[in-house]
A = this chain, B = another copy of it.
Amino acid sequence: MTLAPPPAARAGDSLASVATPSLMIDLDAFDANLAAMSAFAARHGVALRPHAKAHKCSEIAKRQVGAGAVGVCCQKLSEAYPFAAAGIASIHVSNEFVGADKLAMAVELASHVHLSVCVDALPQVQALGDAAARAGVTIDVLPEVDAGQHRCGVTSEDALLALVDGIAAQSALRFAGLQAYHGGIQHVADWIARKAEASRAADIAARYVRALDVRGVRCGIVTGGGTGTVEFDAASGVFTELQPGSYLFMDGDYGGIGWGGEMRWRHSLFVLSTVMSATRPGMAVCDVGLKGLAVDSGLPRSVNWLGAGAKATFSYISANDEHGMLQAQHDAEGDFADLVGKRVLLLPGHCDPTVNLYDEYVCYRGERVTDIWPIDARGLSR
């Protein structure tokens, strides 16, 4: 017996008939964001290596590479597999990893794609070098330096030099440059403050580059940057490669921060939901909660009715596992029973973990579904 839920949508469907909840991409906005970042990187003469952890979708990665990206970043080795399988030729794993299972994935990936990885400890270098040599593959290695986030990365020039020497001692590894990423400053709301923080991070990276330079070690690549800081990173003269991910989607949290002149992003990612109950004054209950919306960066920022919808403006005020509570902002005594069955587009607070809850994007232009893109790296967190 094959008993499985029907597909959420097919190309050509109206948005009014898409099964909910569904994760939606407004392709007009998406295309604009895709083109704008490619043009931005080209204008500033920096390589663009978008972060695939944001979208986890090989269809999107192919479009990024088609628009000029040199490859993609992944945050995990398992995450890289669907991109390698889809023909993305250059993948940077922008993170440390440890253990036999991880080494096995690294050498398998390196036999299919140009692979680079991050390290911040000497035993990792040795284990990776041994595994790569045994497998007969070569892996590019970029030590990570702590650019101020105090998460991963070396914290001294001596530790960096030890890694560089360790890499040089491994015939199957190649020193390719440095990674310097400060995730903590990406969402600083004040543009001036964010610029200052990005400048500090770039200065740290520059100090490490110089420390290697005086020892005759040249960093071919200095990679880092996120959507919130690319405009500063590109102008810093330090970074040769940028790793933004969220620019494609522009989630609720990023949408709320200040942006400079070159950065004009459109919201392209939404969750489509249906009102399935409305028995109380001023309230409606929609069919998406914690299992379809990551709330670590807050609840959905806007509730936009599809079609006629409600006259009142609603806010998404709380999420249960499978329910979302919508509250009328003014007409608190209104009877909204006739809203049952109506649909809303919700702007999620944080794109990356929201994307990781869905198996496909339902892509649309105007009121029509045009494509279904599998989120083929969904759940690949190892």
Q: Is the CB of A306 closer than 8 A to any CB of chain B?
A: no
- Chain B residues positioned under 8 Å from A95 (CB to CB): 276, 322
Cβ of B382 and Cβ of A19 under 8 Å apart? yes
Q: Is the CB of A321 closer than 8 A to any CB of chain B?
A: yes
Q: Is the CB of A323 closer than 8 A to any CB of chain B?
A: yes
The proximity string for A residues 278-298 relative to B, scoring 1 for CB distances below 8 Å and 0 otherwise, is 111001010110111011100
With A5-B382, A151-B325, A323-B151: A20-B296 Cβ-Cβ less than 8 Å? no
- Chain B residues positioned under 8 Å from A285 (CB to CB): 96, 151-152
Cβ of B294 and Cβ of A290 under 8 Å apart? yes
The proximity string for A residues 313-325 relative to B, scoring 1 for CB distances below 8 Å and 0 otherwise, is 0000001111101
Cβ of B291 and Cβ of A3 under 8 Å apart? no
With beta carbons under 8 angstroms apart, the residue of B53, B150, B288 that contacts A283 is B150
Alpha-carbon separation in the docked complex, A75 to B19 (Å): 16
Q: Chain B's nearest CB lies how many Å from the CB of A210?
A: 20
Q: Chain B's nearest CB lies how many Å from the CB of A149?
A: 9
Alpha-carbon separation in the docked complex, A100 to B183 (Å): 43
- Chain B residues positioned under 8 Å from A35 (CB to CB): none
Cβ of B341 and Cβ of A291 under 8 Å apart? no
Instruction: With CB as the reference atom, state the residue of chain B lying closest to A5.
Output: B78
Instruction: Give the size of the chain A interface in residues (CB under 8 angstroms).
Output: 82
A71-85 at interface with B (beta carbon < 8 Å): 75-78, 81, 84-85
Q: Is the CB of A206 closer than 8 A to any CB of chain B?
A: no
Cβ of A320 and Cβ of B151 under 8 Å apart? yes
Contact segment of A26-34, A166-174, A354-362: A354-362
Alpha-carbon separation in the docked complex, A150 to B283 (Å): 9
Cβ of A382 and Cβ of B323 under 8 Å apart? no
Cβ of A153 and Cβ of B279 under 8 Å apart? yes
Q: Chain B's nearest CB lies how many Å from the CB of A278?
A: 8
A19-75 at interface with B (beta carbon < 8 Å): 19-22, 53, 75
Q: Chain B's nearest CB lies how many Å from the CB of A374?
A: 12
A interface, CB within 8 angstroms of B: 1, 3-6, 8, 17, 19-22, 53, 75-78, 81, 84-85, 95-102, 104-105, 108, 112, 120-121, 123-124, 146, 150-155, 159, 183, 274-280, 283, 285, 287-288, 290-292, 294-296, 319-323, 325, 337, 340-341, 350, 352-353, 356-359, 378-382
Given A21-B381, A97-B287: 10 more A-B contacts, CB < 8 Å: A3-B112, A5-B78, A8-B382, A53-B322, A98-B340, A120-B279, A152-B323, A183-B320, A291-B352, A378-B379
